[in-house]
Amino acid sequence: MPVLGALPAEALSTDLVADYREGAFLFAAPSGVLLAEGERAVLRSPAEAVAVLERDEIVVGAVPFDPSAPSRLVIPRTVRRGAPLTTRPRPSVSARWLSQHTDAEAYRDGVRRALELMAGGALRKVVLARRLDLVAAEPVDVTELVAALAARDPRGHTFAAPLDGRTLVGTSPELLIRRTGRLVLSNPLAGSRPRSEDPVLDGRHATELLGSAKDRREHELVVSAVADALAPFCRELTVPTQPELLPTRSMWHLSTRVSGVLADADTTALELATALHPTPAVCGAPTERARRVIADLEPFDRGYYTGVVGWSNAQGDGEWVVTIRCGEVAGPNLRLYAGAGLVPGSDPDAELAETGAKLRTFLGALGVEEPA
């Protein structure tokens, strides 16, 4: 879908990732690349942004995990668009890392406590996250980091969004919603295995994932929730009965592409994103119960991690992805996040290993290893 073709833009650039500089907004997706610079207005909620879309051309930015918390959405001064990413040279990040801190043991304990809560039956799934903090000898070059992430997985959704005093960066595999005219698409992911450079082992991981009853249950919860959230907005909705395998550089994922036709052409991409967020892929089920468990068990505020990031234009078209495989940069400090979906039968060591595999999306771009 040539979604970005509807955007008002300057002349096409051949490499907008190379043109990106810290402070701009970048969204590099399989549908195309968008680079927005400058700020005509800063908006603090999706509802405010939807109202502004009636008279302004485009809104870009990020919405946090907690929908009631302030968003960081911007009406930019200039917008450029480009073709989808292709395979590109892999630049290195020149930062010299001085220290790393992981909360691995605390994460295992949190998983055990969550499984105890599930035993009573009031909670079907919860997604618990952990952090990995790195400190460099000098401010991290965000431009280098974004280029490295984009080169590592050009089929993903690489983003950079300025926050207040820091930058949200990452490469998300999960499309929350894409709207082009009346056509909508959501691609929920749940259930995963790590990739391997050994093709035999890599194939074994993929086969295990596709046949895993535990991962299938987790995936079905997410797909059902996405379909239920989209159904009131659509006159047609197609939900495949079986998931597919979606490969990224670091992970195999169970994937289902849910597509539909809007009943009302005035329903915007940002309104749909708000209706879908947060899905059980990043929160759990039932949603409110899972949100309370997350608040009790995670020893940090997620902020924009597992929120949404993307853009919408004046016609209501747009693209928003789930803010995963990401981190926040502030000077020499880099905080990374990764989570795993827990259902009855989950194993604390296996879930910790899954978060470690997901962190490799980012750590591979940095050229560093996760601490034991």
Which residues are identified as catalytic? 125, 174
Query: From CA 22, how far away is CA 37, in angstroms rounded?
Result: 10
| Positive or negative: CA dihedral 298, 128, 160, 65 | negative
Q: Which two tokens stand for residue 68?
A: 């009631």
Query: From CA 18, how far away is CA 89, in angstroms rounded?
Result: 11
Of residues 351, 325, 321, the one with CA closest to residue 126:
351
Three-state SS for 260?
strand
Q: Give the count of beta carbons closer than 10 Å to the beta carbon of residue 214.
A: 15
Beta bridge partners of 178: 185, 319
Of residues 243, 320, 215, the one with CA closest to residue 277:
320
Give the side-chain half-sphere CA count within 13 A for 126: 26
Q: For residues 193 and 251, is the Cβ–Cβ distance under 8 A?
A: yes
What letter would DSSP give residue 22?
B
What letter would DSSP give residue 209?
H
Q: For residues 283 and 127, is the Cβ–Cβ distance under 8 A?
A: yes
Query: From CA 8, how far away is CA 170, in angstroms rounded?
Result: 25
Query: From CA 128, how far away is CA 107, in angstroms rounded?
Result: 8
Query: From CA 272, how far away is CA 359, in angstroms rounded?
Result: 29
Query: From CA 108, how far away is CA 349, in angstroms rounded?
Result: 7
What letter would DSSP give residue 316?
S
Q: For residues 130 and 371, is the Cβ–Cβ distance under 8 A?
A: no
Angle at 113 (CA atoms; ends 109, 114), nearest 5 degrees: 115
Query: From CA 4, how far away is CA 85, in angstroms rounded?
Result: 13
